[in-house]
Amino acid sequence: MTAFKVWKRFTQEDLYECYQCARCTGSCPAMEVAPAIGPRETILKCLNLGHEAIVEDERLWLCCTCNVCEDRCPQKIPISALLVALRNSASRRGNIPSRLAMAVELLAKTGRSMIVQQLDEMRAHHGLGPLMPAPVQEIRDILRKTKLDEVIEF
């Protein structure tokens, strides 16, 4: 779902009503990390400052897409879908946090999103066999289909 479709689906009045309710904010894990942004703040910022103000804000990436905001929303506003659409819009502009970009680059190169040193030894210590090789080419194909290769070099 694109951000445009989400905004077209709700009137400005509906979104203001959403902002006034704020049930989503009380249980948002992102609010524990950065109280200045969360579902409610995102809606308000979009209403008052527009789409561009959100996609430029790196705190957009703090949402863990747990969907608690949607579970608590009495109006059933798909805030997680909106946040994902805003992230997609931000990434198309190259506004991706450096740590996330590094994780995607590592994923494209190794098939894993984290550096794992001595992994086989750790697994053996716990009685586990070595991991199967990651399907790196398949992962790269997926990243290309999502056009991440246009934003992040790998």
- The pLDDT value given to residue 1: 46
- Are residues 80 and 141 located together in one domain of the fold? no
The count of structural domains within the chain is 2
Q: What CA–CA distance (Å, rounded) separates 83 from 42?
A: 8
Residues 84 and 127 in one domain: no
Where do runs of H (alpha helix) occur along the chain? Answer: 3-9, 12-21, 29-33, 39-49, 51-55, 68-72, 79-92, 98-110, 119-125, 136-145
pLDDT digit string, tens, across residues 116-152 = 777 888 889 999 998 888 899 999 999 999 888 888 8
Same domain, 18 and 77: yes
Average pLDDT over residues 12-17: 72
Looking at the structure, do residues 135 and 64 belong to the same domain, yes or no? Answer: no
Judgement on whether residues 39 and 110 belong to the same structural domain of the protein: no
Does 64 share its domain with 17? yes
pLDDT at 9: 61
Chain segment 53-99, per-residue pLDDT in tens:
888 888 888 888 899 988 998 888 888 888 888 888 888 888 899 98
* Greater pLDDT, 98 or 35: 98
Write down which residue in 92, 118, 138 finishes a domain.
Answer: 92
Provide the CA 38 distance to its chain's centre, in angstroms: 12
Return d(Cα 127, Cα 133) in angstroms, integer: 18
pLDDT of residue 7: 60
Say if residue 127 is in the same domain as residue 75: no
Residues 22 and 60 in one domain: yes
Segments forming the whole domain that contains residue 106: 98-150
Indicate whether 19 and 37 sit together in one domain. Answer: yes
Same domain, yes or no, for 114 and 80? no
